Amino acid sequence: MPLLPRHRLRDASAALAHRVWGWMRWAGAIGPQDRLGRRFAELGAGTLLAFPPGDVFGEEHIALGAGTLVAAHVSLSVGMAPGQSLPPGAVSPVLRIGDRCSIGRGNHLVAHRSVVIGDNVMTGPNCYVTDQNHVYSDPTVPVGQQWPAEDPVMIGSGSWLGAGAVILPGTVLGRNTVVGAGAVVRGTFPDHAVLAGVPAKLVRSYDPDRGWQPKLRDLHIEAPADWPSAPR
Which residues, including other chains, have CB under 8 Å from residue 113's CB and lie 6 or more apart?
87, 89, 90, 94, 131, 132, 150, 151, 152
DSSP H helical ranges for the chain? 6-28
> 67 pLDDT exceeds 90?
yes
Domain ranges across the chain: 28-213
> 232 pLDDT exceeds 60?
no
Which of the four pLDDT bands, split at 50, 70 and 90, describes residue 84?
confident
Mean of pLDDT over the chain: 92
Residue-by-residue DSSP string for 53-103: ---EE-GGGEEE-TT-EE-TT-EEEESSSTTPPPPTT--S-SEEE-TT-EE
Which of the four pLDDT bands, split at 50, 70 and 90, describes residue 220?
low
Find the length of the chain. 232
CA distance 72 to 54: 7
How confident is the model over 51-64, as a mean pLDDT? Answer: 96
Q: pTM of the predicted model, to two decimals?
A: 0.87
In the three-class reduction of DSSP (H, G, I as helix; E, B as strand; rest coil), residue 117 is classed as: strand
Classify residue 132 as left (phi > 0), alpha (psi -120 to 50) or beta: beta
Which amino acid makes up residue 181? A
C-alpha 13, offset from chain centre: 35
By the 8 A CB rule, do 59 and 75 touch? no
Q: Residue 28 phi/psi, 5° resolution?
A: -85, -10
Q: Give 164-192 pLDDT, tens digit per residue.
A: 999 999 999 999 999 999 999 999 999 99
Task: Name the CATH superfamily, with its identifier, for domain 28-213.
Answer: Hexapeptide repeat proteins (2.160.10.10)
